[in-house]
Amino acid sequence: MSFIKKNYEKVLLGAVLLGLVGCLLALPVIIQHNKDVVQGIVNGIVNAPPKPLQALNMSTEDAALARVQTPYALDFETTNRLFNPVQWQKRTDGGWIKIATGNEVGVGALKVTGVKPLYYILRLDRIEPANQFNGARYVISIEQQNAEQAFQRHPRQHYLSVHDKDEALSLISATGAANDPQLVLQILSSGETVNLAQNKPYQEVAGYAADLTYPPEGKKWNDQRVDGDLKFNRSEYKVVVIDPNEVVVSAESNQKKTTLPYQP
């Protein structure tokens, strides 16, 4: 004990030196351990299996490609008003008509409101009995609804006996009872042979008449026939064809024909 008291500095120095020597001896082991830990971390990062990449969202790009592949149509005729301003036309009454489609005025605005057939009709009106001087005479009326002149459309009577003919008809034969004969006639204009009785008139369609209207000017034409004249929109037209389903008009200025459909 007295030795330690007398030499405690040496003993303390020796303990410190022994500790230093122990630390020096343990230092390589600690360094190697740290190296192993660091290497393990590096290996875990470098050699770790990669995670699969998430699917790319290409919706924006696909939409852009779709727009490129689809041509963009610009309407410079019907909706664009910068290069094609709307036209207006003044009516005869002072009002204005907006020309949006081109059919608001002119022949495109002409409408067919009705089409009716025109008949060629033969009727046996009466019988004048035979006498000692003449045989029986038959009073036959002709109604030509398609005649050019209005007075020609009224029934006109023709007096014929068997084997007689005039400018329109030829009576070929008359059979049956005297008060109810069956007549055989020939229409000279066509050469057609037809049968006729008192209660059985003969008729055939000889043409058509049309009713037309032009709304922009409030004009109407009733019972219009082929070759009829129309005047509207400061222009003149002529009716050239009338069928059950259409009417054809021709412009007097350039002979351009326009077909107007009719739907009953």
CB atoms near residue 104 (< 10 Å): 16
- Interatomic CA distance for residues 193 and 176, integer angstroms: 18
Q: Where are the domains of the chain?
A: 1-38, 108-114+207-261, 117-205
pLDDT tens-digit series, residues 174-194 = 998 888 899 999 999 889 999
Measured at the CA of 136, the angle between CA 135 and CA 139, to 5 degrees, comes to 135
Beta strands in the chain (DSSP E): 87-90, 96-99, 111-128, 137-144, 156-160, 169-177, 180-187, 192-196, 202-214, 219-224, 229-232, 235-243, 246-251, 257-261
pLDDT tens-digit series, residues 79-108 = 666 666 777 777 667 777 676 666 667 788
Instruction: Identify the pLDDT of residue 120.
Output: 94
DSSP 204-258: EEEEEEEEEEEGGGTEEEEEE-TT-EEEETTEEEEEEEEETTEEEEEETTT--EE
Give Rg (Cα) of the chain: 56
As beta bridge partners, residue 230 has: 237
Mean pLDDT confidence for 108-127? 93
What percent of the chain lies above the pLDDT cut of 90?
Answer: 41
Who has greater pLDDT, 3 or 64?
64
Is the model's pLDDT at 140 over the cut of 70?
Answer: yes
Instruction: Identify the pLDDT of residue 232.
Output: 87
- Interatomic CA distance for residues 252 and 175, integer angstroms: 53
Instruction: Identify the pLDDT of residue 99.
Output: 67
Who has greater pLDDT, 45 or 213?
213
Is the model's pLDDT at 3 over the cut of 70?
Answer: no
Mean pLDDT confidence for 234-259? 92
Give backbone dihedrals phi and psi of 133, rounded to 5 degrees, phi first. Answer: -105, -35
Please answer whether residues 221 and 211 qualify as being in contact, where contact means their C-beta atoms are separated by less than 8 angstroms.
Answer: yes
Mean pLDDT for all residues in the chain: 85
